[in-house]
Amino acid sequence: MRILTVDDNVALQDILTEIITDAGSTAESASTMDGALSSIENFHPNMIFLDIDMPDGLSLLDKMHLHSPPINIPVIAIRSWGRQIPQDSSLVIGRIEKPFTKSDVLATISSVREEMAEGNEQSIAPIKHAEAAPRAPRTTLAERGVAFGRSYVIFQKSPDAVSDLVSMFDAEGCSVMIVTTRKKKTIIERFRSNNIKALTLKVKLLGGHFNIYGLGTMIDEVEEFIMNNERPVVAFDDLNKIIDRNGMNSTIEAVHQLVTDEYDRERTFLVSVDPAGFTVKDKEILLNHMIHYDPTEG
């Protein structure tokens, strides 16, 4: 991915360039609006970080709209706290507030990349054929060594294994909540079941930028779901994205709280997480009250 940073602060340019390149993308910077337009023409960025605190920062949006043909590249607005973001520009789909962290930048890039990927999928294959629907589980939970009332952690980069378990719990009459940063529509089309709902932590706000629920709100939503369903299953399809936004310790503590809280009914938690970057202690916290599920052994 090619990412252009438009900022008259060279120090901020350098910080963003380092974060972007460390994440495996290609970076270029511009300090003026003319320089930005030149970079757009020659660098062909997939995404633009624009500091709207620049004296003429917002003029770039007008230039992109009025360009012939119009320049339609996703823009992430970098702003000071309280600075208003234009509500009438379809280009601005994200925002980062100063002072920002590396996690803020990476989470925003990930969100935009996901939106772009989903947009491409919809434009290429807007019609879902019957054969593309998820297949019915070929095995049962018992055959996989999994039982309702217990909780499991899957140490894998891909969420495929937890998705398979979700389908199995659904087939056996459980109510499932998937805690995700993906679009609710993506979850609905993936499973096509009235017994499965999505708690999407990424929400689109007025003006087109994104926010992510705090952990406290997430805990409240999950606990309400558990108390309102007889056989509740809560699945985290990609815990790493929540960790990127909220930090390792806070996220692990939130999951630990949910799993260990006392409820008046049995429930199951499923957690899919890439263990890269986890310490032995982090794994032990998860495994203290959860069972390690290895799909290759099922």
Instruction: Give the pLDDT confidence of 49-88 residue by residue, as tens digits.
Output: 999 888 888 889 888 888 888 898 988 888 876 566 655 5
CA distance 39 to 270: 45
What range does the domain containing 172 cover? 132-297
Number of domains forming the structure of the chain: 2
Q: CATH number of the domain that 72 lies in?
A: 3.40.50.2300
Please give the single-letter amino acid code of residue 35.
G
**How many residues in the chain?**
298
For residue 84, what is the DSSP state?
P
Q: Are residues 103 and 43 in the same domain?
A: yes
pLDDT tens string 10-36? 888 989 999 998 888 899 999 999 999
Angle value at C-alpha 121, between 136 and 72, nearest 5 degrees: 160
Six token digits for residue 142: 């018992």
Q: Are residues 255 and 289 in the same domain?
A: yes
pLDDT tens string 169-225? 998 999 999 998 877 777 877 788 888 998 887 655 444 445 556 788 889 889 999
CA distance 289 to 267: 13
pLDDT of residue 270: 96
pLDDT tens string 162-172? 888 998 999 89
Domain boundary among 70, 95, 124: 124
Most confidently predicted of 108-112, 115-119, 281-285: 281-285
Domain boundary among 124, 148, 165: 124
Widest distance between CA atoms in the chain: 64
Q: Are residues 117 and 208 in the same domain?
A: no
Residue 43, number of CB atoms within 10 A of its CB = 17
State CA 213 to chain mean position distance.
11
